[in-house]
């Protein structure tokens, strides 16, 4: 909904979010695409959540990106940020840079999130019904919240790229966030 701001991980997650907005005739002002900074979207989202405590934040992260900077989960989980939602799209590979395997299916991200004191932890979720139910429930819960969604590797060969530059994206996002 228009209540949420999204910070998306580098690569195909950001590309799919951008395309999804285009397909729905929505603007991109509520999305920060973390281009070229793999592993930092959760910490960028954390900083925004601190500064904007009444703004609902969703971090769309990848399993490979999360593994790169997993220490950030301790800061997020113990933060008591009611507006922070951390969603991992876990496909078990570094899809955006060639499909090399990660340990995303071998590491129990949900147990780690629980140990890091995330308030609510869901997953791993595999079906559309599980995902839909968790997202509905999530909308009424205070965070920080964590969801591990299992997805298949790969993307369409014709998956587009954002038409705006990272600087344009940042400017548009900051303007919307500050209004």
**Cα–Cα separations (whole angstroms), residue 108 to 42, 103, 122, 149:** 18, 10, 12, 12
Q: Which helix (H) or strand (E) holds 129?
A: helix 128-138
pTM for the complete prediction?
A: 0.91
Q: 96-99: long-range contacts at Cβ-Cβ below 8 A with a sequence spacing of 24 or more?
A: 96/10, 96/11, 96/12, 96/13, 96/62, 97/11, 99/153, 99/154
Residues 6+ apart with CB under 8 A from 145: 84, 85, 86, 118, 119, 120, 121, 122, 138
Strand 100-101 and strand 93-94: pairing? antiparallel
The pLDDT, as a whole number, for residue 100 is: 80
Sole residue written with tokens 């590797």: 153
The pLDDT, as a whole number, for residue 161 is: 84
Rounded-to-10 torsion of CA 26, 90, 121, 117: -110
The pLDDT, as a whole number, for residue 1 is: 67
Among residues 40, 34, 65, the alpha carbon closest in space to that of 170 is found at 34
The pLDDT, as a whole number, for residue 35 is: 82
The pLDDT, as a whole number, for residue 99 is: 67
In this prediction, the residues of the chain whose per-residue pLDDT falls under 50 are none
Q: Which helix (H) or strand (E) holds 90?
A: strand 84-90
């Amino acid at each position: 909904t228009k209540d949420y701001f999204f910070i998306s991980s580098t690569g195909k997650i950001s590309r799919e979010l951008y395309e999804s907005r285009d397909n729905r005739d929505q603007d991109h002002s509520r999305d920060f695409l973390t281009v070229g900074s793999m592993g930092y979207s959760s910490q960028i989202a954390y900083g925004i959540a601190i500064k904007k405590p009444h703004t609902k934040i969703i971090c769309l992260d990848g399993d490979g990106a999360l593994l790169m900077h997993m220490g950030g989960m301790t800061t997020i989980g113990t933060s008591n940020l009611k507006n922070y939602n951390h969603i991992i799209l876990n496909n078990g590979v570094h899809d955006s840079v060639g499909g090399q395997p990660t340990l995303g299916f071998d590491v129990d991200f949900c147990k780690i999130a629980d140990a890091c004191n995330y308030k609510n932890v869901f997953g791993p979720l595999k079906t559309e019904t599980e995902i839909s139910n968790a997202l509905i429930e999530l909308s009424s819960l205070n965070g920080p919240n964590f969801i591990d969604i299992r997805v298949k590797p790969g993307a369409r060969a014709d998956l587009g790229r954002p038409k705006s530059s990272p600087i344009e994206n940042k400017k548009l996002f900051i303007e919307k966030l500050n209004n």
